Amino acid sequence: MASPLQALRVRLKARPALTVLAVLVMAAATAGCWTSPRFQSPFALSNPSERHPIAVREGEAVLDLAVYPGSSGLNPSQKAKVANFLRAYQSQSTERLLVRAPSGGANETAARRAYDQIRRAMYGAGLNGRAVVLEPYDATGNPTAPLRLSYLQFVAAPPDCPDWSENIARDPQNMPWPNKGCATQRNLAAMVANPEDLVRPRGETPRPGERRDVTWGKYVKGDVSGSKWAPRNQPLSEHATTSEVDAGGGQ
């Protein structure tokens, strides 16, 4: 039978081994956490733009205007359609506007009258004549061949959202479900005014310089360019502190 001193020596020798074992167990548990699907899931799972992308492609906007033989041009409804079409063209495209006119048919003369009206509408809308291309096409045998306006534009194709298979009421791992964010992406594709905004930013417009010119003019003349503050209606010093602003009751 081992003496108490010998038993104590055995326990002291076993303690480092137990410590190493505990460290290994904790490391295994931690490694299990880091290898779980939560930490292994790609960024695309929680990013709707990656998981449910909006397909932006180039398409063609078309407006067909029926022109009948003997007509004097466009009717009021067609004129309104042309005006709306030109506004859409100005906001959605930087390409040329193509006008295809019927030629050789019974309505060729009427189509010319209609085109003259369209050309005046273009000038009224501020379109550059060099941005418009007139292209005749053979309309022999078709007495009501349309006068067609078209331009290239970007079209946003929304993603499908068909996967409702997962029960999101119970998810122990709390992972994004298959359709997460898909409805938002679909609505965005349907509502965006110009799908080109999803591809690249728009160019900057010139800054308004009215107030800048006024302030600069005061500076050149040596006048105080600071705002005036009530109740004394005195200019605010360039070195004013926050307490002075509060005391002056800035407006």
What pLDDT sits at residue 203? 80
Superfamily for the 55-157 domain: OmpA-like domain (3.30.1330.60)
What pLDDT sits at residue 118? 93
pLDDT per residue rounded down to tens, the chain (251 residues): 555 555 545 454 545 554 444 444 454 444 444 444 444 455 556 788 888 899 999 889 999 999 999 888 899 999 999 999 999 998 888 788 999 999 988 999 999 999 999 999 999 998 887 888 999 999 888 888 999 999 998 999 999 998 888 888 887 877 788 888 999 999 999 999 888 889 888 888 888 888 888 888 888 988 877 665 545 666 656 666 666 555 554 44
Tens digits of residue pLDDT in 221-233 = 888 776 655 456 6
The three-state DSSP-derived secondary structure of the chain is CCCHHHHHHHHHHHHHHHHHHHHHHHHHHHHHHHCCHHHHCCHHHHCHHHHCCCEEEEEEEEEEECCCCCCCCCCHHHHHHHHHHHHHHHHHCCCCEEEEEEECCCCHHHHHHHHHHHHHHHHHCCCCHHHEEEEEEECCCCCCCCEEEEEEEEEEECCCCCCCCCCCCCCCCCCCCCCCCHHHHHHHHHHCCCHHHHCCCCCCCCCCCHHHHHHHHHHHHCCCCCCEECCCCEECCCCCCHHHHHHHCCC
Every domain range in the chain assigned CATH 3.30.1330.60: 55-157
